[in-house]
Amino acid sequence: MLLDVILAPSQIEHLDQKQDHDPTLAGDLVAFLGALAMAIYLVIGRRIRAWCPVWMYVFPVVGMSVVTTVSATLLFEAATVTGLTTTSVFGFLSPKYIWYSIYLGGGAGVGGHTLINTLLKYISPVVIATALLMEPLVGCLIGSVLGVQELPGIWTWVGGVVLMVGLLLVTFAENRKSKDKIEGGGGEDLEEVESLSPDPPSETAKYNSL
């Protein structure tokens, strides 16, 4: 179901976009693999975040992404490791780009990626995946405010409304499911925990052990 939610497109929004080329099977395959990877990531993150503090979880994830991204850049994009040029892996430290880098790391990184990982402990991955579908609409609005693109077209607004309704329905269903699980299985879980707990030693056993 999670994969279906992530693959569920904002196809209505795409009606406003002009395509320079026809869709290809390779592009569809990459999109499918990306959605599959994201679904697996959210499910694994949900299980780990149940017991792992968020920063202990985030640092290895971000560290691995740095290693893979830098490695791919050096292998496939002829990047360098010297200087602060646009082709250097340290180019983001250039005075020309440093504030953009701080925003992307602190805003999109901590406020986006880390926030999602924080919420995985408390919210279903299905709800989070559905909320992420709002990204195209929010991105269009931010771009319009910054003056880097025009206001979204009518189909983008229609798609945004559809996504909002879907998000509300998914959130309501997940809350209902959680309540039913608590009301129906709370007692059984408590009995199971009590049955697994060892009985306290008797007074006679304490004296015999001495």
Task: Write out pLDDT tens, residues 28-63.
Answer: 788 888 888 888 888 888 889 889 999 899 899 889
Q: 125: how many CB neighbours lie within 10 A of its CB?
A: 24
Tell which wins on pLDDT, 96 or 203: 96
Q: Which position has the token pair 């901590």? A: 110
Question: Do 84 and 94 form a contact (C-beta atoms < 8 A)?
Answer: yes
What mean pLDDT comes out for the span 11-29? 64
| Among the listed residues 26, 44, 22, the one whose alpha carbon sits nearest the alpha carbon of residue 34 | 26
pLDDT reported for residue 193: 39
What is the pTM for the complete model shown?
Answer: 0.64
Task: Write out pLDDT tens, residues 123-158.
Answer: 888 888 878 877 777 877 888 888 877 877 787 778
89-98, 140-149, 169-178, range with greatest mean pLDDT: 89-98
Question: Do 153 and 17 form a contact (C-beta atoms < 8 A)?
Answer: no
Question: Do 29 and 89 form a contact (C-beta atoms < 8 A)?
Answer: no
Residues 6 or more apart in contact with residue 152 via CB below 8 angstroms = 13, 16, 137, 140, 141, 144, 160
Per-residue pLDDT band at 207 (split at 50, 70, 90)? very low
